[in-house]
Amino acid sequence: MIPKTVDIKSAKVKSKQFWEQPNYLIRTSTVDIEMNRVQTYLTISMSLTALIVAGNIIPTGNAQSSSTQNQKSICPLNQSPIGLICVPPPPVYILPTGKWSIYINGFSGILNISSVDKTGKVQGTMYGVSSNSSITLLCTVVHPCKIDGSFDGKTGRINFTSTPTVETFVPTHQNYMGYLSEKVELDIKFYTLVGVGRSYSPDPGPFFGWYAIKSCLVTGCIE
């Protein structure tokens, strides 16, 4: 039994309005969400633009390029970092001719640089010195090894090949590479050649170290 206070027609109309209301609310809420997204995007964009203009945010590419351009050497003008100190551009290296004391893989000898021409061509001889008769020397005083090579006056680099003058069926050829350095103490100038060598014929051999020293007066070398 339906109570007298209920209006059937009115209830139907209200029910229809109730079921139609969600679609309208969904459409309205969707538009609102999209508008909020647009407003948020515009707000963020305007904020970033303002920060970049103010200098608070710098693009990574510009930051790297500007820092690289602003980097300066600690060395004074016309000087370069070499080893532990700043040094001025070195003068042209001059390789002194004459006899050098050479030490090859622990054995002593004499390196005699006979000539260094204007093009840097180096010629001379080399022989070992040993009192041990059980050691076979490839280069002796009687039969020294002949050296031919080159010297770079700009870098101080020397390269030369050693060839025995003793007639053998299979002569041993060796390559030497090193660098010249010099030091002055009082009126004495000390020259040092330091490098590595290796036999390349008849068979490639292991690398070995070598160095040669020579001292001269500042005014020049006296043989």
Domain of 129, in residue numbers:
98-217
Picking from 55-69, 97-111, 147-161, which range would have the lowest pLDDT averaged per residue?
Answer: 55-69
Residues 103 and 211 in one domain: yes
> Which residues, other chains included, contact 107 with Cβ-Cβ below 8 Å and sequence gap of 6+?
128, 130, 135
Q: At residue 122, does pLDDT exceed 90?
A: yes
Report the 10 Å Cβ neighbour count for 110. 17
> Which residues, other chains included, contact 144 with Cβ-Cβ below 8 Å and sequence gap of 6+?
112, 125, 126, 127, 165
pLDDT of residue 126: 95
Q: What is the DSSP letter of 170?
A: S
Residues 66 and 102 in one domain: no
Higher-pLDDT residue of 39, 152: 152
Question: Three-state DSSP class for 46?
Answer: helix
Residue ending a domain, choose from 71, 90, 118: 71
Residues 53 and 156 in one domain: no
Torsion over CA: 71, 76, 79, 85 (sign):
negative
Q: How far is CA 166 from the centre of its chain?
A: 43
In a domain, 89, yes or no: no
Looking at every residue in the chain, the average pLDDT score rounds to: 78
pLDDT of residue 179: 97
Residues 56 and 148 in one domain: no
Q: At residue 140, does pLDDT exceed 60?
A: yes
> What's the CATH code of the domain at 164?
2.40.128.30
Residues 74-118: tens digit of each pLDDT:
888 878 888 888 888 766 899 999 999 999 988 999 999 999 999
Residues 54 and 111 in one domain: no
Q: At residue 169, does pLDDT exceed 90?
A: no
In a domain, 185, yes or no: yes
Q: How many domains does the chain have?
A: 2
In the chain, the percentage of residues whose pLDDT exceeds 70 is: 64
Residue 44 binned pLDDT confidence (cut-offs 50, 70, 90): low
Residues 67 and 102 in one domain: no
Higher-pLDDT residue of 63, 223: 223
Residues 102 and 212 in one domain: yes
Residues 207 and 102 in one domain: yes
Q: What is the pTM of this model?
A: 0.60
In a domain, 223, yes or no: no
> Which residues, other chains included, contact 44 with Cβ-Cβ below 8 Å and sequence gap of 6+?
none
Residues 62 and 103 in one domain: no
Residue 26 binned pLDDT confidence (cut-offs 50, 70, 90): very low
Please give the Cα distance from 96 to 212 (Å, whole number).
Answer: 12
Residue at token pair 């390349």: 200
Residues 124 and 45 in one domain: no
How far CA 97 is from CA of 23, 36, 78, 123, 181, in Å, comes to: 104, 88, 31, 10, 15
In a domain, 108, yes or no: yes
Residues 44 and 109 in one domain: no
